[in-house]
Structure 1
Amino acid sequence: MKRSKIVLILLCFLILFSGTASAKQLTVKKVTNTDIKTGDSVNITLEFENPFNKSIPIKIQDNNILGNNGLEIQCYEYTLPNNPHTGVSYDFPIQAYSAGEFTLDPATVTYTNPETGTEESVTSGPVRVSIKQGGTTGQQQGITRIYNCGGVSMQSTSISSSSSTSISISSGSQQAGQQAGQNNNQQPANSPENIQQSAQDMQNIKQEMERQKQEQQKMENELKERIENNSDFQKLNEELQKQGYAPADREVKPESNDTGNFNYQYKKGEESANISGRMNAGNMENITKQSTEDIKKLEQYIESNETFMKMNKTLSDKGYNLTGKNIDLKTNISSFEYSYGDKQGKNASITGNVTDTGEIKDISLKEPQAPFPYWILAALLMPLLGIYLYSKFRNNAKPVEPVKEIIYIDPKKNALLMLEKAVEMFNNGMQREAYLEASHAVRSYFKGTSGINELTSDEIITGIRGSKDEGYVRDARECFMLCDLVKFAKYEPNAEDFNRVIEYARRIIV
């Protein structure tokens, strides 16, 4: 009887402890499909665990970039249903463009805890994605950004060509009523006037980019001249050249023509050196000279010091191995840190200062404190926890299967954005790729509206013949025929054929 009372008291303590130590919290996990090859689609799902037994409004921030392709959710408002398990998938598969190892950033979800009334944020872990080389090369989609919060809905897609020119195509709306009275004379989005205006806007952007590039180069040249004419820089440069170092490379980052950071690099055989610092309004700040020879000299001073050797032996006897050295080289006196680690993942370090003449100052050894033996407490509570969990959950029903919700992306709007991107690709010299992008836009539209997926051009034509008129079917046939011509090496893409492709595609989509 006495033993039963003790067990009951311990169970009450355990329940009270577990109830106060762990408040309810939303959890999220990011998952993707596996066995991915170039040309495949990468689908992303957020799996939620909702312990509150009620619907929860949330905001999602989630970046998923795989090389040149990706989906960036800047803000997305969504309401989790009253289900313990919910899967939210993006209806926007990412094309695996190139082989390699990639890491998708953690997703961040913000919500108001219904039990505490406070705003909380939870994150998923990052996800490693391995893409193998397949039989085809993935298409360059660019990076699509989505913002859908506070009544504002925007979507844009940007791509970068091999010349590092960035092209951005945007669409969006703002639900604030400010557009009232402005739609009487509005031109259709795909009218010739709007297409011509978009081309003119793009030309203006390119001219502005070129102008800014020229101004940046002029600013860099003027700052470089000021740096190299500075007496402090010339003195350090002369010292390195007397030691046998020759200029190798330089990096100047101007903020104006007399302000910015710089780093000049030098080589002497396998040895290297640099002069770095900052110029502010024409005055030199924080200029320093470093060389591998100087660092090696200080390392010899440190590692031959008696106190350092005793500390190093102490750590070695405890199973620590040296993992890194860091010497912050300064004039007259420099700081140092030697880092150590053991097989259990514990870290230690030896820190201090060293003068140019080899005197060691303020040396100290830092070791991790012995952790509290929580395993003893866990060993005492585990049997009681097992009894409690068994009695609580033995009659529970089977776990509920996750309910998947799909975030909808308008197939018409998305296809028109892809056509605009194809036009910009053609204008930037990516002509064959532009044909393929236009074909992909039409196929994406059929997939989103009719469920037609992964079929040849002829199979798509056969599939729509019964539900569309002859003119629509003819446009689709001509569009696919022209797009398929680029698969033959002898065919030379040209503006006339490409404009016909765009015209047919717009008639199909709109």
Structure 2
Amino acid sequence: MRKINLFPLLLFLLIIMPLTSAEDITFSINQTEYYFLTGQEAVIPLTINNTFDKDIAGQISYSIIQTVNQGGQSYSSTRSNVQSFSVQKGNNTLGMNFGSSNTPVTYTVSIEFSYDEQDDDYVVSLDGIKIFFVSNESQQNNQENPQQSNSEKIIDATQQNNQEQQQPQTPQEQLQNNQMNQDSQSLKEQMQQQIQQQQAEKKEFEQSVKENNEVQEMQEELQNQGYNLTEEQFNNENNNTGDFNFSYQNDEGETANIEGRMENGEITELQKQTAEDRQQMMDTLNQSQQFQDFQEQLNSEGFNQTNISFNQNGNDTTVEIEYKNDKNETAMIQAEFEDEELKEVRLEKQEDLPWYFLLLAIIIPISIISLYLYRKYILKKQVDTSKQKPIISKPFDYRNEAYRLLNDAKKNYKQGLYKDAYGKAGQSLRLFLSHYHGVKEEMTNVEMIRYLKKLKKPHDHIKQCLDLCSLVEFAKYAENESDFSKIIQVTSEVISQ
């Protein structure tokens, strides 16, 4: 048998392997849906692989859509955050902590890391991560479903034109593109400065609250009762005004909390509630004759207690005790306390519908169907079709609609309605771009930028405008006339293309 010398082949592979290994940053998670019990910290392990031979500095941002279902209705709110971040070389795991929730809620999370390398911009993004807070273990459904994202090069307008070998730009077009790039960079720098200022204000507010004598005395009381601090929440409006909440738990699993408000550095509201306080209110309630009568009435009707909650507002506390029977009918006993004194007890019960409501439920659908059939088959025959004129529906003029929204934004800004102004400016930009590129439905900010990337269209300046509009609309960024003027300018130029 003829022997084959493999040494030249192995030597060739060893030579080319370093040349073919691409430098990249990869984000990966092992699930797309995470389940946590209420009260638990939602920590998601994010695996980051950096094949560069150095640490990469950039910005990491995330947006969270919080969805709560109550009484058959769905309520959503959005919050976002941007901060400086450095990805260490090699393979590392970062624990992303999204906090906890005491009630069932769903988070939809998007994570994005942007950086520049050798004068090029890159982005790594993970979208559609679901976090479910559930009330019992049987609702947990954690399953492995890996998701991974690699760095994508962001192609700006100039690079896109070169790649598509378009005709040289006119001086006017070059000036316009240069101005848009300068405006986008300026917006980015101003947003970074504003974010840094907000972080400094929040840190100063937290320090002011923690150093307040009243807060410290109340915290010391809870610690002497065996409670340990488990969570801190600060919702500041500036460096010395905002709301705060401290959550505690003892070794028996009993909870307590301190909540309050500071205005201009002074505590204006401060109250605490412990398991002992709640037990004392329940003892007082159980001694109430009216409460006993309500309970006896519900028990005789087959109702069983399902839940109890305490809602505190200053010195007032509302105790809500929920009931349900075998027919899934619900009832609730509400008790109002002022300090520790019981003020009122009332019963709210789901009543059976009167007979005339049931009759109306039958008559109304029959009437609607009868009217429809009459107009469709009888009235239609009485119309002289020779005299009818064809009805021509005009196509939706999305350009004019975008201009109308932009003009409304300008009016709102002059009226001091800054959140509405920024919101309508962003809506104008999204609406135009959606229809201009053949999508009949308006997209979200994330969907719009992803779609423009897919089309390889310039999008940096658009992303800056949309991000800025969202930050102001959701009170995460303070408005200023310079930013708003640039948003109006960029949006006007996009609509007029």
Where on the TM-score scale, by shorter chain, does this alignment land: which range? 0.3 to 0.5
State TM-score, norm by structure 2: 0.40
State TM-score, norm by structure 1: 0.39
